């Protein structure tokens, strides 16, 4: 048997040398087996030590996409308001002067909804019946919550580790956020909304659009944290149909925010105001995606004694600086006269001067009476 094993040599082109085997009578049997294991040929193509071939796997065939048989045309939605990318950060009364992309390119996709995209919105076809909408909303909300129920919901959802949270950024109340809110409402009575960035300048506006577009009710508000309640009679199976936007549309071109000459001033006076603003110390420093809840009140208080105010917006971004200037112009009110190197220069305007003169007249009249 040993002679047969040693005579089985691999078929190679190299000259084979003779193998001599000497057996010692005193050596045990394991040493012989070890010697044979090291002396046997290691050619992988030499039987019976050749590796077994692995079974070939069948090739995967690409499956054709399954079409939805229920969908025969564009998606129809009974939502009564116009579809926009952002509801809280756009003003429908301001018409753009141009577009950065053709208005025919709808962000909902070609032929996916039964509304035409105008470049800024997708208007609803039917007329809005405010009475029926108010009745439906009151029916879903049901009876008002008691103080104990509100406290229980607040304690459950107000903490930072709450899993039912939506982050609201510089886009404000966006269209796709409404779908996220209803998805959370399927398994939770309320959703926690954390607001950051430019929209926090006007939290009342955010609360209004959240309640108006989603149909819920804000039951808790603390600085930039909101809790949106779905209602007692909310049924997830009867939720509104909200078609999703597939991409963010390019913002249209609006009229110039800062004019060369401020209204009510000459060119030299405008230049002097800008230089005064750049050299004055900043009222406050704003951070990127920060909480700007108290900025409006701080600017109003500063305008009681100062005519020009500077806001340091380093690392905030040019686009966010302009958004902040537009909101402060409408909320304070004031007139932004310069955006330079992420610095915002605000002028209180002629209305502030008239108020200051009226206050000074009242003070002088009181002193004369005394």
Residue 18 has pLDDT above 50, yes or no: no
The predicted-structure confidence for 108-133, as pLDDT tens digits, reads as follows: 999 899 899 999 999 988 887 888 88
Confidence band of 17 (pLDDT split at 50, 70, 90): very low
Question: Given pLDDT bands bounded at 50, 70 and 90, which one contains residue 107?
Answer: very high
Matching CATH topology for 83-238 and 267-354?
yes
Superfamily the domain 267-354 falls into: YhbY-like (3.30.110.60)
> What does the alpha-carbon distance between residue 337 and residue 245 come to, in Å, rounded to a whole number?
36
Which one, of 188, 184, 192, 185, lies nearest residue 154 by Cα? 192
Q: What is the pLDDT of residue 31?
A: 53
> May I ask the CATH architecture of the domain 83-238?
2-Layer Sandwich (3.30)
**What is the pLDDT averaged over residues 10-32?**
50
Q: Is the pLDDT of residue 74 over 80?
A: yes
Q: Given this model, what pLDDT does residue 264 score?
A: 87
Question: What's the confidence (pLDDT) of residue 128?
Answer: 78
Tell me the mean pLDDT in the region 40-69: 58
How far apart CA 321 and CA 313 sit, in angstroms, is 7
Q: So what's the pLDDT on residue 270? A: 93
- pLDDT value of position 357: 46
For the chain, the three-class secondary structure string (H helix, E strand, C coil) is CHHHHHHCCCCCCCCCCCCCCCCCCCCCHHHHHHHHHHHCCCCCCCCCCCCCCCCCCCCCCCCCCCCCCCCCCCECCCCCCCEECECCCCCCCCCCCECCCCCCCCCCCCCCECCCCCCCEECCCCCCCHHHHHHHHHHHHCCCCCHHHHHHHHHHHCCCCCCCEEEECCCCCEHHHHHHHHHHHCCCCEEEEEECEHHHHCHHHHHHHHHHHHCCEEEEEECCEEEEECCCCCCHHHCCCCCCCCCCCCCCECCCCCCCCCCCCCHHHHHHHHHHHHHCCCCEECCCCCECCCHHHHHHHHCCCCCEEEEECCCCCHHHHHHHHHHHHHHCCCEEEEEECCEEEEECHHHHHHHHHHHHHHHHHHHHHC
Give 207-227 pLDDT, tens digit per residue: 999 999 999 999 999 999 999
Mean pLDDT, the chain, rounded, equals 82
Model confidence at 65, in pLDDT bands (50, 70, 90)?
low
At residue 11, does pLDDT exceed 80? no
> pLDDT (tens digit, 9 = 90+) per residue, 129-174?
888 888 999 999 999 999 999 999 999 999 988 889 999 999 999 9
Of the chain, the percentage scoring pLDDT greater than 90 comes to 61
Interatomic CA distance for residues 318 and 238, integer angstroms: 43
- Which residue in 198, 189, 190, 208 sits closest to 168, CA to CA? 198
If pLDDT is split at 50, 70 and 90, which confidence band does 354 have?
low
Task: For residue 330, give the nearest of 205, 172, 212, 206 by alpha carbon.
Answer: 205
Query: Once rounded to an integer, what is the mean pLDDT over residues 28-38?
Result: 51
For residues 53-57, give the mean pLDDT: 67
pLDDT at 77: 83
Average pLDDT estimate for 299-323: 94
Write down the pTM of the prediction: 0.75
Average pLDDT estimate for 178-205: 95
Q: Give the per-residue pLDDT at 7.
A: 53
Spell out the domain ranges in the chain: 83-238, 267-354
Q: pLDDT tens, 231-286? A: 999 999 999 999 999 999 999 999 998 988 988 889 999 999 999 999 999 999 99
Q: What pLDDT does 363 receive?
A: 39
Of the ranges 44-48, 202-206, 330-334, which one carries the lowest mean pLDDT score?
44-48
């Amino acid at each position: 048997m040993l002679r047969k094993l040693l005579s089985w040599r691999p078929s190679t082109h190299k000259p084979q040398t003779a193998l001599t085997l000497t057996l010692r009578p005193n050596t045990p049997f394991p040493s012989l087996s070890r010697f044979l294991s090291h002396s046997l040929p290691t050619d992988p193509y030499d039987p019976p030590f050749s590796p077994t071939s692995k079974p070939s796997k069948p090739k995967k065939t690409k499956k054709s996409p399954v079409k939805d048989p229920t969908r025969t045309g564009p998606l129809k939605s009974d939502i009564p308001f116009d579809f926009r990318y952002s509801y809280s950060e756009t003003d429908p009364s301001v018409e753009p002067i141009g577009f950065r992309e053709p208005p025919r390119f709808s962000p909902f996709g070609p032929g996916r909804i039964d509304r035409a995209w105008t470049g800024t919105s997708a208007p609803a076809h039917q007329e809005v019946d405010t009475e029926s909408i108010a009745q439906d909303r009151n029916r879903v909300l049901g009876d008002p919550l008691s103080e104990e129920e509100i406290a229980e919901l607040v304690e459950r959802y107000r903490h930072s580790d709450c899993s039912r949270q939506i982050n609201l950024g510089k886009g404000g109340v966006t269209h796709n956020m409404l779908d996220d809110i209803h998805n959370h409402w399927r398994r939770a009575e309320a959703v926690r909304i954390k607001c950051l960035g430019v929209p926090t300048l006007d939290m009342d506006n955010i609360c209004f659009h959240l309640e108006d577009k989603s149909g819920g009710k804000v039951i808790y508000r603390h600085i930039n944290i909101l809790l949106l309640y779905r209602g007692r009679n909310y049924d997830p199976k009867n939720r509104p149909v909200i078609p999703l936007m597939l991409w963010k549309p390019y913002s249209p071109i609006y009229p110039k925010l800062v004019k060369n000459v401020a209204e009510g001033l000459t060119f030299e006076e405008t230049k002097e105001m800008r230089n005064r603003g750049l050299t004055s110390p900043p009222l406050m420093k704003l951070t990127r995606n920060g909480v700007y809840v108290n900025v409006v009140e701080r600017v109003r208080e500063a305008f009681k004694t100062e005519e020009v105010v500077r806001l340091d917006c380093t690392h905030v971004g040019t686009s966010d600086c302009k958004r902040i200037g537009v909101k402060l112009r409408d909320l304070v009110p004031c007139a932004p006269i310069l955006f330079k190197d992420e610095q915002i220069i605000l002028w209180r305007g002629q209305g502030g001067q008239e108020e200051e003169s009226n206050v000074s007249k009242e003070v002088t009249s009181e002193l004369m009476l005394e």
